[in-house]
Chain A
């Protein structure tokens, strides 16, 4: 009965590869997010979708492409992986415009290591 689930939990891959991280939430939330946590633990938003529509697109390399097939899923595809992409990627969801009142729910993270 996990609320926000991410797969895989760990991902080790070589430079230049293409990989995807999947996120699913069963909370009925309309808004989903991707956050990146770097090696210094700094968390920064990358993207946000509301009901399959992209609403936040921070300054992120074009190699990162989010896809939301439905409001319960938000996937992150990364092309031509680079060493600097190594990080922990967190998915989160919230009720649109009500994240503060009803809370943001985070997944447990995907630790991506590029070698």
Chain B
């Protein structure tokens, strides 16, 4: 069965600092990988995804993530944090075949201080 581990339930950074949110997955075959963001009292918005091809994927709002098969990781980064980035971030995986249900990690709350 697939699973996702997000290290750190909370990550605090200063505005302008590097953002690094960690995600490791467990799957018998390389899955599809996603990062979603949830702003307070809102639904989930797709930040970026990895399916095939280039392992460094760029998403919205300046975020990017790199798929590292050898490390079974898909960490999310942003060079310079903005106050508006404060939110809950979820890493998720899905099978490459079938109906591809999403399996989510437990989430990481990003706190950005001035």
Contact = CB atoms under 8 A, between A and B. Distances in A.
Interface residues of B, number: 25
A40 B106 contact: yes
B96 A100 contact: yes
Nearest to A107: B43
Interface of B: 32, 34, 38, 42-46, 49, 51, 88, 90, 94, 96-104, 106-107, 109
Interface residues of A, number: 28
Interface of A: 31, 33, 35, 40-45, 48, 50, 55-56, 90, 92, 94, 96-101, 103-104, 106-109
23 contacts: A35-B102, A43-B44, A43-B104, A43-B107, A45-B101, A45-B103, A48-B101, A50-B99, A56-B101, A90-B43, A94-B100, A96-B99, A97-B98, A97-B99, A99-B99, A99-B102, A100-B32, A100-B49, A100-B100, A103-B49, A104-B46, A107-B43, A108-B42
Nearest to A90: B43
Contacts of B109: 41
A98 B107 CA distance: 24
